[in-house]
Structure 1
Amino acid sequence: MLPPSPQPISRRVERTQDADAAIRQTDSDAALARLSAVKKGYLTDSFIGHLVPRSQLQLPRPPLINVGTYVRSYSIDHLVEEWISISKQEHKPCQIVSLGAGSDTRFWRIATGPYNDYLRVYAELDFPEVTVKKAMSIRKSKQLSTVLGPPENVSLAQGGLALHSPKYHLLPCDLRKPPSEILPSLLGDIISPSSPTLLLFECVLVYMSPEASSNLIQWFVDYFQSSAVSPNPGVLGAIVYEMFGLQDSFGQVMMNNLRSRNVSLIGALPYPSVQTLPERFTRHNFTMSKALTLREIREKFIPKPELARISALEMLDEVEELNLVLDHYAITWGVDLDPTPELSSVGWTQWGMRTARGLPDGHESR
């Protein structure tokens, strides 16, 4: 959650030779942050240690990073669980497609929880260098591989870059390429346009050009709109977590520190404020889109007993700095009901974060 520290000159030169390596490193940073938050008691995740090399030797992160990681996880967990809950109410098992999934453990947490029966498919897409390492970690870990099902139903593909099981699919690709060239062959036989489908973008679109990210979202919109002739058309939802509003002095520090690691946040430029974030979806004619900063979520949406619990875990001295960081990260979510207007009166339009009093909230656009 903190702006990364500048790297030594020798490492900067090495990283400039492969810009994608620097982007992939941000996933390692996030995995280590999550591992730290789990070890400190902020989060419960028995799977993350299997995806972090030498996890038992990793040092804890500062309290500020632990708190930020907790708020991020709380927000996305809440929205995903709400999505699956609505799918359950509608008697429609859902699909989740995580783009730029990295070392995420969400599939395993869902598959071992109360919502497993309502998950039809879970697909993860990322760079081949990421998927091959994750596939190897899954095969080496009995705890991870057992969740996928009987060994005879789990297979590697594309020389170990991809992995398939009855519900879980790990797929290699470069999301910056034209979606029409990569997604049909990857997802065509996996996801159904007739099932409610949730897209997850956790810190991925911010590293892509606005044009590339827009094309990616539009491909899914077109895919589900083409199902309008189906007797049971699906609903498309999406969640984005990333930085925004980087034009101020704090944002410039974040961008400069990342530039020193050869990472550019070109996808953040069109979004100078939280009010502009819903435009990511409304420009694609989503029925509803809302956004909240992580600071708003921490202050208004996390129950007070839970805030008291995490406050007791570590002493946090940098409250002002924490608020600055949380003010530059946001969760944006949206629903596209256009192919299925008859569903507009049910739970999908109410999907979202709820305040500690149970009321829906968020900056909205249409």
Structure 2
Amino acid sequence: MLPPSAQPISRRERTQDADAAIRQTDSDAALARLSAVRKGYLTDSFIGHLVPRSQLQPPRPPLINVGTFVRSYSIDHLVEEWINISKQEHKPCQIVSLGAGSDTRFWRIATGPYKDHSRVYAELDFPEVTVKKAMSIRKSSQLGAVLGPPETVSLAQGGMALHSPKYHLLPCDLRKPPSEVLPSLLGEILSPSSPTLLLFECVLVYMSPEASSNLIQWFVDYFDSNSVSSNPGVLGVIVYEMFGLQDSFGQVMMNNLRSRNVSLIGAFPYPTIQTLPERFMRHSFTVSKALTLREIREKFIPKSELMRISTLEMLDEVEELNLVLDHYAITWGVKLDPVSNSSSAAWTQWGIRMVPDMPDERESRWE
């Protein structure tokens, strides 16, 4: 959401580590999620294990908590629908989270009703991020137990990588040429015939348009060139990021981040919500759509859920919340094999849709 205040990056840190400010945005997101969980917006029993001194962290403002809820609800909804379709197709799916940071989705899926319907879950991020996450996983018996028997879990690359039967934590710089980085990381992990979902949560917006395009194209080429014609894989993508930053409020957001040494170089090609799906249509995706978080909050979240969270905290900044949500979007897309489209109807209808109200039952997607 609107970047919360954080400790400023010192001049020395900027000089020695130009990416420190970008990595700090993951810490901000983890603290926001921790706050939303403790306030009752979300259910996540794992996030506290990935936040240093989590018991000492102060709550975030209601605006941040509500925004975190809408973001999480949207992405969880799409991921759940993706796994559902894969289940119906009798094909265990693969999920690749790029710039995963402190995300807990693997653990929530692995301990929920969809635990038997995924083949691989891979997370990629800066080595400085993965080494800390690997350390947290090894220190936490709750996180470690989900990965499998201890003898099936191993560290690699000096503790920067971690491997288990289904979960893989991989260090890399996503801005580098994908052909130089990804084959050695994913070549023996991903199956080109399995439905594969790519997750980009506030990642592409920090990359140059050229670098993000090359990254997406690598996955397109990987599945196009390696898929078995009789059993082709389906490639899906979910992107959460800022857009439309040319207006006055967008400029405030950019200046706020610029003061922390963060540049949103990937946002400039996308001035409107209509331009976001074009990114994937240029890469020959079959279908792609986008919604702002404001649209999702107002039209796609059950009224019962909105009423529930409205009782958690008093939200005075409704106008500011709407401005923020108008500048964040969820984009999703599907690329089907052009030869075989036997399952195209199910996959092309995948997306965010209204969930019926369940007034007597609180939704819990993963736990």
Q: TM-score, length-normalised on structure 2?
A: 0.95
AA matched with 1:322:
L
Aligned CA distance change for structure 1 residues 133 and 68 (closer, same or farther; 3 Å): same
Task: For residues 90-145 of structure 1, give each alpha carbon's deviation from its aligned partner in whole angstroms, at most 9, with x where no partner exists.
Answer: 00000000000000000000000011111000000000000000000000000000
AA matched with 1:49:
G
Cα distance between partner residues in 1 of 2:315 and 2:49? 29
Partner of 1:337: 336
AA matched with 1:2:
L
SS of residue matched to 1:122: strand
Cα distance between partner residues in 1 of 2:228 and 2:87? 23
Task: For residues 280-302 of structure 1, give each alpha carbon's deviation from its aligned partner in whole angstroms, at most 9, with x where no partner exists.
Answer: 10000100000000000000000
Cα distance between partner residues in 1 of 2:136 and 2:356? 41
Q: Is the contact made by 1:5 and 1:257 (CA closer than 8 Å) also made in structure 2?
A: no
Cα distance between partner residues in 1 of 2:240 and 2:345? 26
Cα distance between partner residues in 1 of 2:240 and 2:254? 17
Percent of matched pairs sharing the same residue: 86
Q: Indicate which of 12, 15, 20 corresponds to 1:14.
A: 12
Aligned length: 356
1:185 and 2:184 correspond: yes
Cα distance between partner residues in 1 of 2:328 and 2:47? 23
SS of residue matched to 2:103: coil
Q: 43-52 vs 344-353, which deviates more?
A: 344-353
In structure 1, stretches of 5+ residues that fail to align are 359-366
Partner of 2:282: 283
What aligned pairs does 1:23-102 form with structure 2 within 5 A after superposition?
A: 23-102=22-101
How many angstroms does 1:19 deviate by?
Answer: 2.0
Partner of 2:255: 256
SS of residue matched to 1:96: strand
In structure 2, stretches of 5+ residues that fail to align are 358-367
Aligned CA distance change for structure 1 residues 59 and 6 (closer, same or farther; 3 Å): closer
Q: Is the contact made by 2:287 and 2:348 (CA closer than 8 Å) also made in structure 1?
A: yes
1:231 and 2:230 correspond: yes
Partner of 1:305: 304
SS of residue matched to 1:201: strand
SS of residue matched to 1:43: coil
Aligned CA distance change for structure 1 residues 339 and 157 (closer, same or farther; 3 Å): farther
SS of residue matched to 1:266: coil
CA RMSD for the aligned pairs? 1.3
Cα distance between partner residues in 2 of 1:339 and 1:165? 34
